[in-house]
Amino acid sequence: MSHFFSTRRDWLRSVGAAGAGLATASFSELVLAQKPLTVGFIYVGPKDDYGYNQAHAEAAAQVKKLAGLKVVEEENVPETNAVQKTMQGMISQDGAALLFPTSFGYFDPHMLAVAGKNPDVRFAHCGGLWTEGKHPKNTGSFFGYIDEAQYLNGVVAAHMTKSKKLGFIAAKPIPQVLRNINAFTLGAKSVKPDITTSVIFTGDWSMPVKEAEATNSLADQGVDVFTMHVDGPKVIVETAAKRGKFVCGYHASQAKLAPNAYLTGAEWNWITAYTQIIEAARSGKPHPNFVRGGLKDGFVKTSPYGSMVPEAARKAADAVKSAMVAGKFDIFKGELKDNTGKVVIPKGKVFKQTDMELESMNYLIEGVIGKA
């Protein structure tokens, strides 16, 4: 290696003073090319789950194409000390300098434990709530305001429903999930105020049998448009399509699974967050500890409309979308009541997406049938 350097330098010297500026530039490029940054991605489920993990894996595949980067990946890693070993293995065996542990449960205690032992390695966790002073500087969290895309799902769903009954199949009543259910319902109610959303919680992130049962049971009750917040929406999309109902996707595009039932969907666009964090690592800038963004920032996107979505629905959703992109639209604003009649956001109060109160949401709004 050093021999190669010296000959290149000799060659540069022979080119002369005219090349001096060029020399420094090409030298630093050479260093980058010599030592690629190794980035590790860890998924809790399979990379092709048509959902949460696929959304990450698709963006990781884009990262692979960037020059000067080496990507190592591991799927189906449980949130036990197995993930600690995977992280440590990526660091000691593969020389990774930046890790993306993508499952929520990896954050505490697993990522924090490994980060403490490896202060020179950067950790970018998806979904966690990184807190200044509480968590180490070499760790951080990124997430997207996907409730914006769920609001747009709601607008389209409201145009398509005949029964005015929407269905939402969710894993657990935790803040991130409740926020999506509420945003979806608010989007639908903005079109037809008397619409309702029936929610079923399956209890865990990947429960294919319960998800199918929940879809069928809601379909029996007259629900004709579905959406969801589970790790792999495949079963719900397919079951709803089989029952002749419409569906709005989540995490990644499930359009391929049910082209005649898939209206649109709320998708992650993780490459935006990944690029920000990777560029900081490459240029030696401080690790971005708290990265958040919505439609405006390109953190989330919507699936292309299905052919059955009428012009009016597209126009209505597109209008809201462009307001969101322009930063002129707020989803959660007063007066807002929960479904027990209690006022949860007082009149006149407007929450920006970045407001931390929204990250601890613990209610379902009026119009949602279900219990948080």
Partner 1 sequence: MPGARAWQDPVEAVALPVLALAGALLAFGVFVWFAGASPLDAWALLFKGAFGDAFSWQNTLQRAAPLMLTALAVALPAQAGLTVIGGEGALVLGALACAALPYALPGLQGMAGAVLMLVVAAAAGAVWVALAGWLRQQRGVNETISSLLLGYIAIALFKHFVEGPLRDPASLNKPSTRPVAESLRIGGIPWGGAVTDVHWGLVIGVVLCLVAGVWLSFTASGFALRVVGGNVRAARLVGLPTLGLILTACALGGAGAGLAGGIEVLAVHTSANASLIAGLGYTGILVSFVARHNPWAIPPVAVLFGGFGAAGSLLQRRLDLPDASVLVLQGFAFVLILAAEAGRGRLLAARAPKPVVAPPPPADPNAPPPPIHASAVAN
User: Which residue ranges make up the site for partner 1 (CB under 8 A)?
Assistant: 40, 46-47, 72-82, 84-86, 88-90, 92-94, 104-105, 107-109, 127, 129, 172, 174-176, 203-204, 359-360
CB of 276 to partner 1, least distance (A): 22
Taking the least distance from each CB to partner 1, the nearer of 10 and 357 is: 357
User: Which is nearer to partner 1, 330 or 359 (by Cβ)?
Assistant: 359
Shortest Cβ distance from residue 143 to partner 1 (Å)?
A: 10
Nearest distance in Å: CB 204, partner 1: 7
Q: How far is the CB of 79 from partner 1 (least distance, A)?
A: 4
Distance, in Å, from the CA atom of 229 to the CA atom of 160, rounded to the nearest integer, reads: 20
Q: How far is the CB of 362 from partner 1 (least distance, A)?
A: 9
From edge to edge, which strands make up the β-sheet containing 122-126? 69-74, 37-42, 98-101, 122-126, 139-144, 290-293
CB of 9 to partner 1, least distance (A): 34
Q: Give which of 187, 161, 183, 159 is closest to 170, Cα–Cα.
A: 183
Residue with Cβ nearer partner 1 (128 or 233): 128
Per DSSP, what are the bridge partners of residue 37?
Answer: 69
Query: Among residues 39 and 157, whose Cβ is nearest to partner 1?
Result: 39
Of 203 and 310, CB closest to partner 1: 203
Q: Which two tokens stand for residue 27?
A: 């030298």
CB closer to partner 1, 145 vs 262: 145
Nearer to partner 1, 78 or 222 (CB): 78
In whole angstroms, give the CA distance from residue 301 to residue 251. 10
Q: Report the b/e string of 113-144 with b at 16+ CB within 10 A.
A: ebbeebeebbbbbbbbbbeeeebbebbbbbbb
Over the range 52-65, which residues count as b (16 or more CB within 10 Å of their CB) and which as e?
A: bbbbbbbbbeebee
Residue 357 per-residue DSSP state: G
Could you write out the DSSP letters of every residue in 210-227? HHHHHHHHHHHTT--EEE
- Number of neighbours of residue 84 by Cβ within 10 angstroms: 19
User: What are the residues facing 246 on neighbouring strands?
Assistant: 225
- Which of 250/329 has CB closer to partner 1? 250
For residues 358 and 266, what is the distance between their CA atoms, to the nearest angstrom? 19
Give the separation between CA 276 and CA 243, rounded to whole angstroms.
42
Nearer to partner 1, 88 or 197 (CB): 88
For the CA atoms of 114, 115, 118, 120, the dihedral, rounded to the nearest 10 degrees, stands at: 160
Q: How far is the CB of 61 from partner 1 (least distance, A)?
A: 11
The CB-of-161 to partner 1 minimum distance in angstroms stands at 30
CB distance 272 to 293 below 8 Å: yes
CB of 223 to partner 1, least distance (A): 25
